[in-house]
Structure 1
Amino acid sequence: MFERFTADCRRTVVLAQEEARMLRHPMTGSEHLLLGLLGLPDDASVALLADGGLDLPTARQAVQRLLEAAAPELDAEALGTIGIDLDAVREKVESVFGVGALSATGPASGPGPGDRRRGGRGVLGGHLPFTPDAKKALELSLREALALSSREILPGHLLGGLLREEQSLAARVVRDHGFDLPTLRDRVRATLT
């Protein structure tokens, strides 16, 4: 599928990976793809978001806010009553993902002893794997391109795919900013035809 991506669409994926690394996330999610798209302000489809006031800094803040809200504070005592040792869970997570992996900002001091690396790749460099919602959005971008009889996948097709995956964090950021997703998808498609 990536062979169909235009240079701008490939650039979006690179920018998405950079956003994930900057936020110290171990995977590239739909929210990172949205941030990557917003890094292409000259694209007509992406300009629809900017015209509605959703630019890269605004979206980045929204992503951070939503991710922090999604990580509820765990009550160690309540978990202990059902046999879950929160300290043991924290220790195991940090041994795999690095010290501070459960904090809002991610690992505090670079790679930990359990960081998985393949040929020097991992959280700090190389390709970050895609989350299931990002994979779905990428698949939907191909469907968007095919539905419009396009041989190439443009940033607008990727945006359309993100908007079709309505339960994703990217779609939530867009919706929370006041956009109606079906209406925006129609407007994105109009820029592509």
Structure 2
Amino acid sequence: MFERFTADCRRTVVLAQEEARMLFSRTTGSEHLLLGLLGLPGGTVATVLAQGGLDLTAARAAVGSPHSPQAAELDAEALDTIGIDLDAVREKVETVFGAGALSGAAGAADRRRQGARVSGGHLPFTADAKKVLELSLREALAARSREIRPEHLFLGLLRTETSPAAVLLRAQGFDLDDLRAQVLAALA
């Protein structure tokens, strides 16, 4: 299937792998494919998403966030039931290690600035990312295209409604059907 990918689509997958490494992931998921699409300079997908207010920086922050605010509240409540004050622990850790020491996204950003990386090589695709890749081929075939473009990859991503990338897009206020229509219009 990868032989059908255009140079831009191959670059998207390479960018997705790089994003996964920068976020210290052991796999490449649909969320990393989304980051790869956003990182493609001048890409249709990046343009459509930017018009809706989502850029690479904001998407990275959303992907790199280890907990939602609701999950953090539940964690604090659970620890409180066994006598641990999460705010006191955070304060002590930040006193010793510096502000933001417990922030997963900030920690990953600091490691990126310092040049730290997960070892190179191929990161395996998650099941949802494999499904996106498979659906991108189907999207290209449905469009009677001999090649798979980044837009086809995105259309495949939009069809995996329970994937982390689709969940992220909906959380950012996007309607998946509207995005699909916009990208199909751009392809026409």
Q: What band does the TM-score fall into relative to the shorter chain?
A: 0.7 to 0.9
Matched-pair identity in %: 66
Q: Aligned AA for 2:67?
A: E
1:33-88 per-position Cα deviation (integer Å, ceiling 9, x unaligned): 000000014012331011111100010111122x4347985x79xxxxxxxxxxxx
Q: What is the root-mean-square deviation of aligned Cα atoms in Å? A: 2.6
User: 1:17 maps to which residue?
Assistant: 17
Whole-angstrom distance in 2 between the partners of 1:27 and 1:44: 26
User: 1:68 maps to which residue?
Assistant: 67
User: 1:175 maps to which residue?
Assistant: 170
User: 2:36 maps to which residue?
Assistant: 36
Q: How many pairs were matched up?
A: 154
Shift of 1:183: 1.3
Structure having the higher helix fraction is 2
1:124-153 per-position Cα deviation (integer Å, ceiling 9, x unaligned): 111000000000011111111111111111
Extract unaligned runs of 5+ from structure 1.
77-102, 108-122
Q: Aligned AA for 1:6?
A: T
Any idea what SS the aligned residue of 1:50 has? helix
Any idea what SS the aligned residue of 2:173 has? coil
Shift of 1:185: 0.6
User: 1:4 maps to which residue?
Assistant: 4
Q: Is the 8 A contact 2:38 2:56 kept in 1?
A: yes
Whole-angstrom distance in 2 between the partners of 1:176 and 1:148: 29
Q: TM-score, normalised by structure 2?
A: 0.74
Q: TM-score, normalised by structure 1?
A: 0.72
**Structure 1 runs (4+) greater than 4 angstroms displaced:** 70-73, 103-107
